[in-house]
Structure 1
Amino acid sequence: MKNILTSVNSFLCTSITLGIFSISLSGDAHAGIRQYRADIENSQWQLANNSRLQCTLSHQIPNYGEAKFSAKASRKLNMEFELDMMLLPDNYSLAEVRSVAPRWQPGKGGRSLTNMQLHKHFNPSLPKKVAWTMLSELEQGMSPTFYYNDWYSDQDKISVGLSTARFKKAYQEFVGCIGNLLNYSFDDISYTVLNYQSSSDKFTKASQRRIDMIREYLSLDPELELVLIDAYSDSYGGRWSNLKLSERRAAKIRDYFVKNGIDASRIEAKGYGEKRHISSNSTTLGRGKNRRVVIQMQKP
């Protein structure tokens, strides 16, 4: 009798999946599970983006879409996971994300990681902490798997798994790419004010470091369509000489960018002389603020 009860309990446990993805013993007998996962022979992981601006680790899921882990240049380490579906959701629902042992590791327990929101007409994504956890699970040989009810067929359930086959080499390349990302983003430099030494077209040390950052970013991002350079002076000296000084400052920056490989057609430079002061010229600090160049960058 004890063996019979044990067998029944085992059957019940394997017939009910934890979380929001469940198949009830009393449910529709015609309900099915559609499983999407690359087999060992077809599993491919690749470094789709490998630059100092973005790193993307990509995994194709046959007949379903693409799983992507991405990190971008930023002051802080970041990460995002996106499930790029061939057939987008038609309504809002939730998918349970579980770490599941592969078939060749029977008996190894899995665990629930999180719930992922499925939005209408948008690819679902997961934030940094969960994305890193999923990568860690893959590195340990586990398979992050998504379970949800099919929004086009009430009787069907969906299972989408990430294969561990051929993961580690691509993951090592991905980690190396992340270590080489710029430690600043487009938003950090898209509007920059640079300051000059008095009566000179030479930058202060802080501004020189800043323009080097902008030059490096410009050389890496072909999507930037326009760089605006507006130069200004303080009110010491004649207006004409200050106008010419500001024009030289703007031209010098433009030439610096062009010399470093930036297409001249993407750059507009202009000097305004004493116009548009942002501080009083009666103090050293105020004049220092007025001796400036404003660099603005625009993306399409």
Structure 2
Amino acid sequence: MRQCYFILLGMFASLPAMALTFQTRLENIEWKVEGDKFECRLIQPITDFGSGAFVRRAGEQAVFRLNAYNSMLGEGSATLLAAAAPWQPGRGDIDLGPVRIGRGHVLFNSSQAQAGRLFRGLLEGRSPLVRHYSPAGGLSEVRLLPVKFRQAYGDYEACTTKLLAKNFEQVRQSQIGFPDGGIELDIKARTNLQVMLDYLKADPTVNHLILDGYSDNSGNRLTNRELSRRRALAVMNYFKESGMQESQMTLRFHGEQYPLVPNTSASNRAKNRRVSVRMERVPEPGKAAPSASVASLGTAS
């Protein structure tokens, strides 16, 4: 009897003292999948707190995000864990490292590596757990449960197959190369332009392109200027053939001016033979600028 007493005492001593825990009751657990071509989200609402969500943007891997209605955690460092379930004896929690709790509704975004390990943990029956201590509020924990996860994960994976290849920040400015010195678009150039075109078709708020043509310094200035113009025209024609209007594009050409790298070698000169393509959101006359919800799909400058 005395031995059992010390065993129980040891178990309770290992538990966090006076921890305030936020989690949804087992019978009310749900996972929701939301998304479009720009972003997929796998969300578990957390009663009286907010939600935990895996968020994957186009062109990126997922991160884990903790959202709060009104944060009671306070700012500062917290620990992210893939916690073992009580019914998994002998399995310890996996410490995934620190996260920084901030202000606002989104308390933190994990790293992509942390999110990947949380996914694996959930598939093994583990719980994402955020543990935070503050001198004012003591120890607080926010826990998601793995109940019903596998089905929702399958739906989330299906969503990610429909994501665009890149998000706005990744695609908003691209360099289309002409490494062989000509004016024709090669396979790599057409592939890069198609990625941009796919984004343009998906996001009608991006409605203008600026095309800047360049050359190396191999020829005389007049020849180089004409080469840079014809390269920019080749890119413009690609977009026109795909349905864009010429009025949606601004074409400029600069010859050998503004090299990316010094024209001191063959490889450097190849890099300078290019067209820079920049996407922009230009409000139409009489219309307001895109709303914050649309602009959040990518930050323009």
The answer on whether the counterparts of 2:164 and 2:198 sit within 8 Å (CA) in structure 1 is no
Residue 91 of structure 1 and its aligned partner are, at CA, apart by 3.2
The one-letter amino acid of 1:60's match is P
> Structure 1 stretch 60-69 or stretch 200-209: which is displaced more?
200-209
User: Between Structure 1 and Structure 2, whose CA radius of gyration is higher?
Assistant: 1
- Pairing 1:92–2:76 present: yes
The one-character-per-residue Cα deviations of 1:202-231 (angstroms, maximum 9, x if unpaired) are 323332332223223333455657532012
Q: Is residue 4 from structure 1 mapped to residue 32 from structure 2 by the alignment?
A: no
1:12: how far off? 1.5
State the distance in 2 between where 1:59 and 1:115 align.
Answer: 22
Superposed CA RMSD:
4.1
Q: TM-score, normalised by structure 1?
A: 0.70
Describe the superposition over 1:211-256 as per-residue Cα deviations: whole angstroms up to 9, x where unpaired: 22322333345565753201246786995x9867755653553453
Map 1:227-238 → 2, pairs under 5 A: 227-232=209-214
The residue number in structure 2 matching 1:195 is 178
Query: What are the ranges of 5 or more consecutive residues in structure 2 without an aligned counterpart?
Result: 281-298
2: distance between equivalents of 1:280 and 1:97?
49
Aligned to 1:125: 109
Secondary structure at the counterpart of residue 165 of structure 1: coil
Alignment correspondent of 1:47: 33
For residue 20 of structure 2, give the secondary structure of its aligned residue in structure 1: strand
Show CA shifts across 1:32-83 (max 9, x none). x4332223443221222242x5332222112211212123444xx7332111
**What is the DSSP-based 3-state SS (H/G/I as helix, E as strand, rest coil) of the residue aligned with 1:94?**
strand
Amino acid at match of 1:4: R
Residues 147 and 291 (structure 1 numbering): CA distance in 2 closer, same or farther, change over 3 Å?
A: closer
Q: Does 1:34 align with 2:16?
A: no
Q: Which residue of 1 aligns with 2:296?
A: none
Q: Map of 1:159-198 to 2, 5 A cutoff?
A: 159-179=141-161, 181=163, 186-187=169-170, 190-195=173-178
Bigger Cα displacement from structure 2, 54-63 vs 113-122: 113-122
Q: Residue 276 of structure 1 corresponds to which residue in structure 2?
A: 257
- Counterpart of 1:46 in structure 2: which amino acid? K
How many angstroms apart in 2 are the aligned matches of 1:158 and 1:38?
15
Percent of residue pairs bearing the same amino acid type: 21
What is the distance in 2 between the residues matched to 1:144 and 1:50? Answer: 25
2:285 alignment counterpart: none
In the alignment, is the contact (CA less than 8 A) between 2:233 and 2:251 conserved in 1? yes
Task: Please state how far the C-alpha of 1:11 moved relative to its aligned partner.
Answer: 2.3
**Per the alignment, in what secondary structure is the counterpart of residue 168 of structure 1?**
helix
Question: What number of residue pairs does the alignment pair up?
Answer: 276
* Distance change >3 Å, CA 189–CA 120, structure 1 → 2: closer
**Matched AA of 2:131:** Y
The answer (yes or no) to whether the contact 1:100–1:145 under 8 Å persists in 2 is no
